[in-house]
Amino acid sequence: MQAGVEAAAAVLRARVEDRLDGDAPHVAITMGSGLGGLGEEIEDPVRVAYEDLPGWPRPTVIGHAGHALIGTLGGRPVLGLSGRVHLYEGGPPERVVFYVRVAAALGIPVLFLSNAAGAIGEGWHPGELMLISDHLNLTGTSPLIGPVVGAESRFPDLTFAYDPELRAIMRETAAELDHKLHEGVYAAMHGPAFETPAEIRMLRTLGADAVGMSTVPEVIAARALGIRCVAVSCLTNYAAGVLDEPLNHEEVLETTKLAQADFQRLVAESIRRFP
């Protein structure tokens, strides 16, 4: 796996040198389900298909395009990642965090993550955004299981998994833009089935405000590598049992469109201000 990481990093490094005059991207941006429109905001991007990157896992879920974008956003050099793989797509957990290890190999100091999530918080509604303050890892696994890889910490501290300084910048930016931005705890489940109403009641008792099937493995790996993290959930549906209605992935993708404009502006302006 590590050999694939180095090989993929070498391909991207060459493209970075061409597009960014040798400057390493300052932020890697993960675009979650239906949120790939953010890639359209990256200026003069160089597009690299995942299939052209050695060892790079390819998404199989609708709403995840499967390419990297090298360019600038908010005036900062970035590596945009349109599409990710999930634990439920199969394979070992380290497959999910392959791109995080590539970002570390490229020397990228900040990881911005986004996802689609179900709203658990009282009075929270689909189409709104939530800044993640902390998480519950209920996937039943970790990307760090097994031998230590490269410079990763064996026992990373997750007290400040979601960087307080970067979160403060996003809160301030949202206020200036007059965008509603909740802040709360994200619960990560393995999937692919949506949660049951009983599971949602459990998550609410545990303190979760939103639930999804991604992000947490990547944050764990990033913190083990010393990468600063900040993450935003697009609330795409009410979690199971909040309403007496069934859930489906098509609804998730459709609702992301409601938040797309606010999301894109918030991210671009926040990245402009990131240290």
Catalytically annotated residues: 33, 64, 86, 88-89, 116, 213-214, 237, 249
Q: Could you tell me whether strands 181-189 and 129-138 are parallel, antiparallel, or unpaired per DSSP bridges?
A: parallel
* Residue 223 DSSP class: H
Convert 138-163 to b/e letters by CB count within 10 Å (16 or more is b).
Answer: bbeebbbeeeebeebeeebebeebbb
Residue 88 per-residue DSSP state: G
What span, in angstroms and rounded, lies between the C-alpha atoms of 83 and 97? Answer: 12
Collect contacts of 44-48 with beta carbons under 8 A, ≥24 apart: 44/19, 44/71, 44/72, 45/19, 45/69, 45/70, 45/71, 45/80, 46/15, 46/18, 46/19, 46/70, 46/71, 48/11, 48/12, 48/15
In whole angstroms, what is the distance from residue 170 CA to residue 247 CA?
30
Structure tokens at 85: 């793989």
Return phi, psi of residue 182, to 5°.
-70, 165
